[in-house]
Structure 1
Amino acid sequence: MIKWKLKIFLILVCSSVVFLAYLNYLTVTSKRVRIMDLKGAQAQHNFFDDGHNIPSHNVMKNHSNAGLDIDNKLAEAISKKVKVACFITSMQNHLENKLRAVNQTWGRRCDKTLYVMTTNMTGADILPVEIEDDRQTLTEKTRVAFTHLYNKYLNQFDFFLKADDDTYIIVENLKYLLSHYNASQPIYMGDLFIQYAPNGYMSGGASYVLSREALKRLVQNGYKVPGRCRLEGGDEDLETGRCLYKADVLSYSPVDRHGRKAFHAVNVYAYLVGPMPGFLKIFSRIPSKMGDDCCSQLTISFHYTEPKLMYLLDFLLYRISVYGRSISYKKLKGLFQLKALPKPPINMPRFAYLGEELKQYYSNETDWRKLNSTIYVSNDLKRLWEKRKTRKINV
């Protein structure tokens, strides 16, 4: 009897060991399959591929429309009429996630795309800079990028867009809006914040656009005038906005006839379901809406869009259609308010820039434009500068 029980016990133990080993085999195998699938998927795409950065490239006719029954003649016509160069500030360690997502979605729809980063890599789409990767150096990176575009591409493009590597842009909607403007006028466009400058500044994350004339003034009447603009340190979007105002560039923050914005400083989730970040109530010149009425039908941008969401938005926008529904292009005429925005009303709650007073923003503009903005340097930035030895920057 004892021997019989012992045999049963040994059989059960052996069976359990075999079963556990089989489960482990399945788990390891499934993990290997997923990793191999992921590597295989990545191997099908080469970053900075297809030569989409070449200005003559027509993104409307690339492989992304394969298998779709669509009529894109109007989009093609506007794309040929309005030429936009885009640059994205980033870091080399974002190549395989954020930058890959940008490059495989909206980035290839720009007429020229530049990824601005601290790197030894070279390529037609890369603007390498020898500037430390730090939030405090974004102003410097942006200045280098705008100066590079001014030196090499000023007369090749009509408008110049700056975006973050977690910004999503609907380029066709952007070009449609820009088709209403003349690039020879000084235009600065985006999601307008009202703080720290006479007419505020555009959110960098929502992206902002400069016309050819605005870029020209930014460099000639801003960067090249000693003491007029901060060339390093501070917040990139704020310092660029202040410099543009000093260079006499006009601010535009497009809103449609329903009061819905086109540029958005946070991601689509916040506008649809919330919660809405509290800073928007304090900073936004135009109040943000929530829910179905949050965003213009011809929305242009969202910030804080991580790669998975970027792919999802791109798929839903460009690969899915609803049968029986089409855009009424005639009714969309006159959708946006196209006028430049004046200074915010004096009764709006605002903050002054370090070393300035709010009353200066509403008095003599000529005097304010002469102020030296380079004297306000934080201790963090001073420590960063002290760590630097030599630096070569090609613009």
Structure 2
Amino acid sequence: MVNPPRRKILVLGAGVIGGAVADLLTRMDDRFEVVLAARDGARLRERANLAITVALNLGFDPRLEPRVLDVTNLDATAALIAETGPDLIVNATSLQTFWAISMLPKEVHSRLERARIGPWLPNHLATARAVMRAVAAAGTRTPVVNASFPDGVNPALATVGLAPLVGGGNVANLVPTLQRSCAAMLGVARESLGLRFAAHHVACNAISSAGSPDPAPYALSVLHNGREVSGEVDHAALFASVIGPYRRVRGVTGQIVAASGVAAVAAALLDERETRALHVPGPLGLPGGYPARVGAGRVVLDCAGAFDEETAIAVNRAGAVVEGIEDIRADGTIVFAEPEMAVMTETFGYHCREMHVDEVDLVAADLQARYRAFAAEVAR
């Protein structure tokens, strides 16, 4: 039997998420050829060799090629896309990972956590915009899975016609645990439940951190043998179980969960035979996270049972405000919520009430300069 040709995936970024995505893709039954691109050539080669070594130990035949690239270089990124001709692109780049603040002293970290992720949007939007501009410049319609804060980045880019097809991670990080807990509460097999959950990153993070989404809203549907049973589940106890009997390792080590969500979306998109029921952030330029059917290069929302698409979108728009993103206007203007932005201003002097998507490079440069100077001072 002749194996089908491998599909090529270009993974941009070889950090914690990008590196782990490459690891997972090289262990999926030799289905994929991976091009892993990042700025630091020496570290990139070492990371690629790590993925190859582990895959070989597990009996796979990994095809992984490292390529040095700075995604902010439009011409170089477009040229790499055109040269390699990937079937799918994964963006795992950012100017600063969201967990960088956890390296600060505990009191400072706790203070900055009150800003949530919304005010940090420029760090993730700047590189994602660069990637999407390069995709357009390369003249390709290759689908892009964005792993860099897709709940906020994807709807922002949609206003200027540059939205990735979908995101990965975030809402998907939580759903397996909710399904396990629901099954235990109802006394049924996990596989017999059709669980659908809609929530913004801020709600999912709050559940994983504190066992409750409050004050962010959510929508939950649980079907058992075609019957809606979410009303038979104690929602408060369900969410509390995430930090109780179902608590898992989080932090940098736990990012493998987010990477698995990204890899699952990538694999499903390249499967021409069937679609998979998944949970995805930022699908089709929408804010927040949703249940969806993914396959054959398409993503279709899959809201059913206790909530519909309109409810899911409303929940996620409200969640974005809790995250610190007050509005993403149709003209590309992003309005940040003052309470969350005030935390940044009071801590290290950064303030941005409004920003157009196309101004992100300047705003991100200011954010980075102020934060880095602050972090260096704190470290003395």
Query: Where is the helix percentage greater, Structure 1 or Structure 2?
Result: 2
Larger radius of gyration: 1
Structure with the higher fraction of residues in strand conformation: 2
Identify whether the pair has TM-score above 0.5, normalized to the shorter chain: no
* TM-score normalised by the chain length of structure 1: 0.33
**TM-score, normalised via structure 2 length:** 0.34
